């Protein structure tokens, strides 16, 4: 498993993020505290507190993780 911190500030950000995520095969979760949703679910993401930084968990994928990270670069928060 690999974790990446992401920030989704607008409705357009959420739509763009999900559009990217559905291109990849695998299991991806977004977590905020104890609350976890499917990172490919628009409704799930909108149920989260988007004022906070979210943790993207790459659980299992057939894709290269670096390719996923490159596609998500606009949303990644550097710590």
Q: pLDDT tens, 6-15?
A: 999 999 999 9
Q: What is the DSSP letter of 79?
A: -
Check residue 42 and give its pLDDT: 96
Closest to 55 (Cα-Cα) out of 22, 26, 28? 28
Check residue 72 and give its pLDDT: 95
Check residue 79 and give its pLDDT: 60
Rounded Cα–Cα distance for residues 39 and 58 (Å): 9
Percent helix, strand and coil across the chain, each to the nearest 5: 35, 30, 35
With a cut of 50, which residues of the chain have pLDDT below it? none
How many beta carbons lie within 10 A of that of residue 8, not counting itself? 22
Check residue 18 and give its pLDDT: 97
pTM confidence score: 0.90
């Amino acid at each position: 498993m690999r974790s990446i911190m992401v920030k989704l500030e607008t409705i357009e950000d959420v739509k763009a993020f999900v559009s990217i995520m559905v291109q990849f095969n695998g299991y991806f979760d977004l977590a905020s505290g104890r609350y976890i949703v499917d990172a490919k679910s628009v409704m799930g993401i909108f149920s989260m507190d988007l004022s906070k930084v979210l943790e993207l968990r790459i659980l299992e994928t057939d894709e290269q993780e670096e390719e996923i990270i490159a596609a998500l670069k606009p949303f990644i928060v550097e710590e």
